[in-house]
Amino acid sequence: MKHPILFFCFLLLLFSTLFSCRPNRSSYDLLMRAETLIDKYPDSTLILLRKVNSGALDKSDNARYCLLMTKALFKNSIPIVSDSLISIALDYYNNSGDSLKKAETYFYFGQVNADMKNSKLAMESLLKAADFASYTRNYKLLYLIYYYLGDLHLNEFLYGPAIKMHQKALSYSKLLNDSSYITHALRNLAISYAGDNKKDSALINYYLALKVIPKSDTATLIALYNEMGGVYENLGNYTLAIESVNKALALDTSTEDPCYSYVTKAHTYLKMEKYDSAIYYYNKTIYSTNLYTRASCYNGLAEAYYAKGNSKKAFLLMNTFNKYRDTIENQTKTAAVVEVQNIYQHGKAKEQIQRLLLEKKEQTIAFYHWGLLSFILLLLLSGSFFIYRSRNKKELLEKSRMLLEQENKLIRMREKESQLREDFFKKLNKLNKIPSLGLNNAKNKESLSDDVVRISLTDRDWDELIRNIDVAYDHFTDRLKREYPNLTLQEIHLCCLVKIKVARNDLANIFCITPQSVKTTKYRIKKEKMGILDRDISLDLFLEKF
């Protein structure tokens, strides 16, 4: 009887090992249901996916889960602020032969980076998605890829490339024969032409959009008429501008405030020198909840009353406009500082997620090593193997739960902070005096003039700059003084500017020295004041990570 018992134990362990490698059935079923619901019911899909135990999935199903979760967040208009999920899917599908999955994964990888304000990587990802999608006949995906590529170029004011991308999106929308897609492609094409100062082409595309727009899409129809009014205003055709805006107002039966239409009419009447009409429509918009709209109204009212000869009232209105402008600048400044602080904190949270992922991977490897060892030592350690497996699996699931909680916490945090996603350095450039802070790519930085232009920063400017940097980078100057007490105030100022990547020419103009002297000063601070002797580590690289 001894051998049959041992053989039975062997079979029991073999089958339990095989079935333990299969995905958790409940999670697998949830994934299958999510795939069928994602396009029509993204909100229900998101609820299902949050019930999935991703730690129980194998590599293939985990990639499916990560891609589906990213799609669900995107379709529910939830800002995606971490690329940890979609990166897992990208790593898996990038090594597969499925062109459609590759295209889809790169598309959502691009959307994640667009949400994270990484426009360059977003464009690169969407272009890769377009390459892979070109091997398929999925016209809907191709439409979406080129539509969002066009939007990315529009956001960067690259109107020429935006026109090309939206033209491709339009061609795929026609292949789909989807009137809604055609309308939106034509509208964005018109916006791109208007930005490129090709107003006639813009109007042609607006009229084409009016011919195909679904009758039920009143909101888009209102937007088309309002935007056409703006184009006519810029062309100086004020009669047609007023007619277009009036059509938008006639359609706007919703509870939404039609401020855009009123402001456009007011601006148009102001240019027509019909000051009473301009004042009338400015006053209808002056109580808007949008600070920018209210500021624009007060500025327009001041111009109208001044033109009518009422200088006293114009002066009072201009004072009110200046107050709103100061409020907007302060809010912009605060948002910029908080945005950098959130990015800094997001980096820390992402490191925590990566650490948990590494722990999970190490735990999984250890699990299978012990499984193999237990299988080899079946006759001696079968009982202890089952005990160990149970305990180890529990720990693995706990790690997965912690990882998912951390990711969900990060998502919730960034949902609340979605309004703070303006580019910090562009905003900081508007509020300060350093030219290179407004340049966001290498090409622009190379175009900076080498001429010596004195940049004068007052004590107040320095105090404000240091305060912003300390808020954004976790008390940067305090930590710098504590670690390197021999640094002078001027050297600390230099380190602050290096931290926020001010160009060498600007540094030279600020400190009244040559660019070569800036390089020498950086090397001296690194070597003599900080004791960093490694030639491969520059002061810029060290302070970036400090």
Mean pLDDT of 274-292: 82
Mean pLDDT of 338-342: 45
Range in 95-99, 480-484, 537-541 the model is least confident about: 95-99
Confidence at residue 149, expressed as pLDDT on a 0 to 100 scale? 93
Confidence at residue 18, expressed as pLDDT on a 0 to 100 scale? 46
Mean pLDDT of 457-480: 89
Mean pLDDT of 27-37: 83
Range in 58-67, 147-156, 346-355, 467-476 the model is least confident about: 346-355
Greater pLDDT, 308 or 145: 145
Confidence at residue 498, expressed as pLDDT on a 0 to 100 scale? 93
- pLDDT category, 24, cuts 50, 70, 90? low
Greater pLDDT, 387 or 188: 188
- Please give the Cα distance from 167 to 19 (Å, whole number): 52
User: Residue 150: is its pLDDT beyond 90?
Assistant: yes
Confidence at residue 84, expressed as pLDDT on a 0 to 100 scale? 86
Measured in residues, the chain has a length of 546
User: Residue 209: is its pLDDT beyond 70?
Assistant: yes
- Please give the Cα distance from 336 to 348 (Å, whole number): 19
The SS3 call for residue 544 is helix
- pLDDT category, 145, cuts 50, 70, 90? very high
- pLDDT category, 168, cuts 50, 70, 90? very high
Residue 87 contacts residue 357 (beta carbons within 8 Å): no
For 351-357, which contacts have Cβ atoms below 8 Å and span 24 or more sequence positions? Answer: 352/406, 353/82, 353/84, 353/403, 353/406, 353/407, 353/410, 354/84, 356/399, 356/402, 356/403, 356/406, 357/84, 357/403
Percent of the chain's residues with pLDDT above 90: 29
- Please give the Cα distance from 385 to 391 (Å, whole number): 10
| Stated pTM of the model | 0.56
User: Residue 519: is its pLDDT beyond 80?
Assistant: yes
Confidence at residue 361, expressed as pLDDT on a 0 to 100 scale? 62
Average pLDDT score, the chain: 80
Range picked from 81-95, 121-135, 288-302 for highest mean pLDDT: 121-135
Cα→Cα distances 456→432, 453, 518, 530, Å = 11, 9, 17, 28
- pLDDT category, 518, cuts 50, 70, 90? very high
- pLDDT category, 420, cuts 50, 70, 90? very low
- pLDDT category, 340, cuts 50, 70, 90? very low
Greater pLDDT, 333 or 262: 262
Confidence at residue 15, expressed as pLDDT on a 0 to 100 scale? 47
User: Residue 381: is its pLDDT beyond 80?
Assistant: no
- pLDDT category, 346, cuts 50, 70, 90? very low
Greater pLDDT, 422 or 281: 281
Mean pLDDT of 17-24: 47
Mean pLDDT of 65-72: 90
Greater pLDDT, 319 or 169: 169
Confidence at residue 202, expressed as pLDDT on a 0 to 100 scale? 93
97: Cα separation from own chain's centroid: 29
DSSP letter at 455 equals -
User: Residue 424: is its pLDDT beyond 50?
Assistant: no
User: Residue 440: is its pLDDT beyond 90?
Assistant: no
Mean pLDDT of 97-126: 89
| CB burial string 237-258: b at 16+ within 10 A, e below | bbebbbebbebbbeebeeeebb
Range picked from 108-122, 200-214, 250-264, 370-384 for highest mean pLDDT: 200-214
